[in-house]
Amino acid sequence: KMAAQHREMERLIESRQRLHTIKDQITSLHQTMSTPPVPSQQGKNKFLFELIYLCLN
């Protein structure tokens, strides 16, 4: 039972680290998006940011 709990904790820590990496990548992507893209691309980006934001919170 302890081993299973330990594995679960490791899995959670790994997931959290992956989320932080994604969050950092999004932040840097946001900073590089200085020029406004074409409207359709802008809509896609907005959708992605909202989706990821929901996943992170």
Q: Where are the domains of the chain?
A: 2-56
pLDDT in tens, 9-28: 999 999 999 988 988 888 88
pLDDT of residue 6: 92
Q: Nearest-CA neighbor of 50 among 32, 26, 16? A: 26
Distances (CA, A) of 17 to 5, 10, 22, 32, 33: 18, 11, 9, 23, 24
- Mean pLDDT over residues 46-55, rounded? 81
